[in-house]
Structure 1
Amino acid sequence: MKKVFVVLALVGFTFSTISCRETTQDKIENSAEAAGEDIENGLEEAGDAIENAAEETGEAIENGANKAGQEIEEEIEGTDDYNGDDDNN
């Protein structure tokens, strides 16, 4: 009888250990999925920020080039004022 009790106790202990491992494994899988989603969202946000910065930089360069071209034209035409004010206003 004592051997049967010990065997049953060992079987019960084994099942409880396996059950705990499955629960732990499920938690690990859920955590890994959540971390993957967070990383994906972060990368999308970073990509959007880079794209916006590139667009703003391109616009600033274009505006600067237009302003430089306008100043050159004013110099050539002789309508440029030395202090930066336009005489064409």
Structure 2
Amino acid sequence: MLAADGRVRESWSVDDPDRAGLAAAALALRAHLAAHPGRLGVCADEKCADVYADASPAGHRRFCSLTCQNRTRTAAFRRRRARSG
């Protein structure tokens, strides 16, 4: 919706009241991404395709969860170990 000052502002309505929570969550995600561009990423684990919103202080998150991070690091460790031994 275009406001009187020429800026775009959010406005929403839902036909089904049961969907109001989903609509609010979508708007909150949109607002977060607009306020923090570049903070949306895809998990670096080759077996995962999850998307995450990076809320870390430095903004260098690479994995969607500790599970994916541990799986990737364990696989790298095993590859290095197999090459050296």
What TM-score, normalized to structure 1?
0.28
More strand by share: 2
TM-score (norm 2): 0.29
Higher relative contact order (CA 8 A, sep 6+): 2
Structure index of larger Rg: 1
